[in-house]
Amino acid sequence: MRRGRRQTPVTSGAPARVVLSEHDISRALTRIAHEIVERNKGAEEVLLLGIPTRGVPLATRIGARIVEAESGRVSAAELVGTIDPTMYRDDLRRQPTRGLEPTRIPPAGLTDKVVVLVDDVLYSGRTVRAALDALSDVGRPRAVQLAVLVDRGHRELPIRADYIGKNLPTARHERVSVHLRELDDADEVVLS
Q: Which residues pair with 147 in a beta bridge?
A: 118, 163
Q: What are phi and psi of 154, to 5 degrees?
A: 65, 40
Q: Which residues form the domain of 41?
A: 21-89+100-191
CATH of the domain at 56: 3.40.50.2020
pLDDT attached to residue 2: 36
Q: 131-185, pLDDT tens digit by residue?
A: 999 999 999 999 999 999 999 999 999 999 999 999 999 999 999 999 999 999 9
Q: Is residue 54 part of a domain?
A: yes
Q: Is 47 helix (H, G, I), strand (E, B) or coil?
A: strand
Q: Is residue 108 part of a domain?
A: yes
CA distance 120 to 51: 8
Q: What is the mean pLDDT of residues 14-18?
A: 87
Q: Is residue 1 part of a domain?
A: no
* The total number of structural domains that make up the chain: 1
Q: Is residue 16 part of a domain?
A: no
Question: Number of C-alpha atoms within 13 angstroms, CB side, residue 79?
Answer: 23
Q: Is residue 6 part of a domain?
A: no
Q: 45-59, pLDDT tens digit by residue?
A: 999 999 999 999 999
Q: What are phi and psi of 63, to 5 degrees?
A: -60, -45
Q: Is 141 helix (H, G, I), strand (E, B) or coil?
A: coil
- pLDDT(39) > 70: yes
Q: Residue 149's closest CA among 177, 182, 120?
A: 120
Of the chain, the end-to-end C-alpha distance in Å amounts to 23
Quote the crossing angle between the two packed helices 22-39 and 55-69, to the nearest 10°. 60
